[in-house]
Chain A
Amino acid sequence: MTDTPAPVPTGRLIGGMFRRQRRDTALCAGFWSLHQVCEALVPVAIGLVIDQAVGTGSGTAMLWSVLGIFALFVALTMGWRFGFWFLSKAVVQESHSLRMRVVRRVLTGRGIRTSRQHGELLSIATSDTQAAAELLELGSRMISALVGLAVATVVLLRIDWSLGLGLVVGVPVLVLGLHALGPVVERHTSAQQQSIGRAAATASDLLRGLRPLRGFGGVDEAVRRYRSASRSSLRASIGAVRAGATFVGVSTFTTGLLVTVVAALAGWFALQDRITVGQLITIVGMATFLSDPVLNLADCVFRLATARASAARVAEVLAAPEPTGSGGRTAQPGPLVLHEVHAPGLDGVSLTVPPGELLGVVTGQTTTADSLTDLLAGARPPERGEVTLAGTPVRDLDVATLRRVVLAEPHAVDLFGSTLREVLQTGDDRDDPAVRRSMSAAAVDQITDGGVGLDRELLDHGLDLSGGQRQRVALARALLADRPVTVLRDPTTAVDAVTEHAIADGIRAHRTGTDRATVLVTTSAPLLDRCDRVVFVHAGRVAAVGRHRDLLAQSAYAEVVLR
């Protein structure tokens, strides 16, 4: 979980995909090749039937022909069907595994440094992983198309070596020529995908802000903005379509040219009696069949560009750097200490959080409070100074183990899961009495009223809870996680005064009596009143340390905590 993944260039990502799915992809390519061979034999069979049965009028020959055609089609059907099944399995499995790698990469450790919006990450995790996995399909299709071409060539070589030779030379030239058009198409498609991504990101951003948006009547303007994003996406799409259509036109013409030349030559040979009429029909049929694998190859080339662009975006997320590095040492519980730290709003602050203490940290400045919370949580390094846990600098600690020791519940509440029990559990599952204890400490036990208890179903994100309930559920979750050091930032801003007192008692009772350390970064008097010690940070420095009631005598402190 903690290994830092090596950079994943697109080529390596694609290679890995084929390696992982080699069995199913190979099976698919094999079966599809069988299918192609059968397809190639269909015009041969038609030629044979016309030559041997229709031309001669022999009933027995016709009977054998019918049986032969059915045998051929059974093989053809089976080939396609099994191939498709194995391919679907491979694509579904691979897109799932790519998706999970993206999710794990984003969630593990400190996450990734990226400029992409959540909507874009979503589209990478859903559509790009799918499109990238479809490279497996393209691989199988190209192999089977090549096999089909090979069979057609052999058949033609056996009838007339010069025609066969012409194909061996002509087809690669055609495919290479079409391949050269690829980059033009790719430029258009990647522009299109980017701009579709932006339109989707705009839509999901607006939807997430829908409640506030309606509150200030911004819907009309929001609709107008989406419209303009959608129109620019449309323009890009149409550009890509034109490039694609040109490509289709060119490839159709080249295959048409191939068919004409082969047919004209074969006709001439037949006129000179070098070949029979039946052979002519076979050649003409083969020439028409040839357009299938050639167009198939061309189409694969076309889609290759799109799929590669998707794979590149997936690779970019997988290779994105962490915001700050992680050390290798295992975090141990112990005193959490800030030594003379400098950060925005902090101008040389030292502070110790010993095990067992309930510590209040007070500041009137949001920036200062943010910096302190982040530093204590090890979420960012100080500009100067040092943060240590049990004597080890935090930056040398392995993030995963650090998180088992220090928890800072983010102030913006995000809940996960569909039942209350699921929402509260964050690591090793805790038993119900423990869950209930933490809920009552957070004064949120009444939301299980009505007999449903902890299995109460919550709407997506706990949206059916009030702001105050959500805040308290998050607090209960933090208490249940029971880390040696817990940092709580303004945990009671959305609750009423009476409940706030209950919570203050609850936190104190829940966290003390053990060697658990708790830091409350807050200006709430009821919370501070229960603290063992309060540190007042003013103008970037520690201005006073003591009990809340004693500090109230200082006017600067009183001004911040009394409302």
Chain B
Amino acid sequence: MSAQTSVLPVATGRTTLATFWQSLRRHPALGWASVGTSLAASGAAVVVPLLLGRLVDLVVADGTTRSLLLTSAWILGAGFAAAVLTGASRWLVTEWGMRACADLREEVLDHALRMDSARLESAGSGDVASRVTDDVEQVTDSIRLAAGVFTALVTVLVTIAGFAALDWRIAAAFLVVLPVHVFSLRRFTPRAKRLYAAERQAAGVRTQRLLTTFGGMRTVHAYGMAQRQSQRVERASQDAADARLRAVRGFLWFANMMNYAEAIGLTAVLLAGFLLVRAGDSSVGDVTAAALLFHRLFGPLGMLLVSFNDVQSAGAALARLVGVIGVDVPATRSGDAPAGRAAAGVTAKSVSHRYADGPAVLHDVSIEIAAGESLAIVGASGAGKTTLAAILGGVFPATDGAVWLGGRLIGDLSPTDLRRTVGVVTQEVHVFAGTLADDLRLAAPDASEDDLHAALRLVGADGWVAALPAGLATPVGDGEHPVTPGQAQQLALARIALLDPPIVVLDEASAEAGSAGAHQLELASSAVIRGRTAIVVAHRLTQAHACDRVAVMSRGRIVELGRPDDLVAAGGRYAELWAAWRR
């Protein structure tokens, strides 16, 4: 199950950063406001310990009660400013990140939906789903964290400036922590990358298993195989848990180093202060302020380094998202004027196809279908019917050969033009979550209520739709009002009717309905076929027999082609199938 996880690319660190930075730059006003308030908030927060140092000096110098009150008032004021500014910066920085993240996730889904099919099919739905749900969620969640990191970073920088303002020699002493941090980060980073990538991967497998399990709940119930299927999920979940703990263990070493760096830094600051005060170059108050400032840094520095953990794994998730964005998708703009509803024929020349590195499933298939003609494709399972239909319908390109729709090469049509020219009903049916009208309007967003009713009438679905609790407004899909496979097929046909293309490709449109509804569906598909060029993958030979011509496929080749009655009369393979069918 893990073999296909690498099919979708994962972006490099540099690309990931660049892409995220670009999304951030789309909101310049928020960006400037965030930076400004964060700087001001950190500034105000640094002033507090500096003022506390002043207070110590004042006591050492035996100052007046009045000056003590004045300093206290300043401390309170700085504290208030720090509070307001900290709240504001938290809000602004997080909103900035969230807006960028929303842009990003929309772009990811956009790319996931438009990605070229060959890649999508080999990637498996689980990997894509885990990126669009799990990874998006992780990145969204870590925006808060990233906002915290940003604030901490600003605080660290402002504090260092505060040190320098106090005494440059103490600031220099503080800098001894940097080599320690750099050393530990450099040793930790490559390991962390590996550990977190492994953790994400394990989580991806877990998501895939959970998705399959929840989707196939009915089958699990039917076999009473809860135990078996739970164990399957459990293995994946346990693997993910183990990967997580391995990542934690790696991180702990790093956290240790951080504490030692704090000890070294504090010692250095105090030692420098000790020497400076002994030499009479600095006051006890300054040393106190420096020590307090440094102590204050533990929080933000720790936050920076600790969240390195989560930033790394959020980074891994982000890289997977940017990887999806990096996948080329066909341009969406239509190249020429819309193809319109003009009648169009289909021509295929020497089409061959293989999936990934597999054996060829189509060999040198050529066929010409006149405008308005209907062609049935029949043959045994695995003969290549679905593949040929998919290639003729432009679902994915053939590895060899050329296909023309209405006289234009398929490769020259933009996705929009392609779908205006040809509508495809695939083997899988899916009822999209939302109201029934929403479901239909996916194919024709501007369709009026009357259009929807007309399409439903055409496919014979008007009766049961009218009987629904809220008609077209009834929620359908997952967990909502149940729709039978046959009804789902009718909806699929209704969507094509709404799309109204000159060419239709129907792949086993009546297969999943069960034979009870098959006759009804045959009527529906012939209604949709009427007046269009049609390619029908037919298992029910009655449906094939109603078409103008029949192509019989075997082992990736068209072995017979002709009018159904002629083929029966010729006594070949079709005649054999027909006899078996009528038996």
Contact = CB atoms under 8 A, between A and B. Distances in A.
Nearest to A89: B245
A330 to B, nearest CB: 13
B392 interface: no
Nearest to B433: A205
A264 B68 contact: yes
Contact of A204 (B79, B211, B332, B518): B211
B230 A250 contact: no
A213 B442 contact: yes
A408 to B, nearest CB: 6
Nearest to B147: A241
A80 B259 contact: yes
Contact of B65 (A125, A271, A461): A271
Interface in A54-76: 54-55, 57, 62, 65-66, 69-70, 72-74, 76
B225 interface: yes
B263 A256 contact: no
Contacts of A233: 102
A220 B418 CA distance: 13
Given A207-B128, A217-B416, A118 B211 contact: yes
B429 A207 contact: no
Contacts of B203: 126
Contact of A206 (B211, B432, B511): B432
Interface string B297-315: 0110000000000000000
Nearest to B143: A237
Nearest to B234: A100
Contacts of A219: 113-114, 415
Given A219-B113, A277-B56, A366-B514, A111 B485 contact: no
Nearest to B232: A416
Interface in A81-120: 81, 84-85, 88-89, 92-93, 95-96, 99-100, 103-104, 106-111, 114-119
Interface residues of B, number: 182
B66 to A, nearest CB: 11
B539 A495 contact: yes
Given A223-B113, A234-B98, A241 B91 contact: yes
Interface string A218-257: 1111111111001101100110011011101110110011
Given A107-B213, A107-B229, A277-B59, A209 B478 contact: no
Contact of B87 (A43, A80, A207, A249): A249
Given A73-B260, A212-B492, A461-B125, A257 B79 contact: yes
Contacts of A108: 226
A468 B263 contact: no
A162 interface: no
B373 interface: no
Contacts of A464: 355
Contacts of A54: 270, 273-274, 277, 284, 287
Nearest to A490: B514
Contacts of A280: 56, 59
Contacts of B190: none
Given A204-B132, A211-B426, A494-B512, A525 B445 contact: no
Interface string A476-512: 0000010000000110011111111100000000000
B478 A231 contact: no
Given A288-B49, A426-B225, A467-B427, 12 more contacts: A217-B415, A217-B423, A249-B86, A256-B48, A280-B56, A288-B48, A410-B218, A413-B219, A463-B124, A481-B223, A493-B511, A523-B518
11 contacts: A57-B274, A62-B271, A119-B133, A126-B203, A264-B68, A284-B56, A410-B219, A459-B4, A463-B121, A500-B580, A563-B542
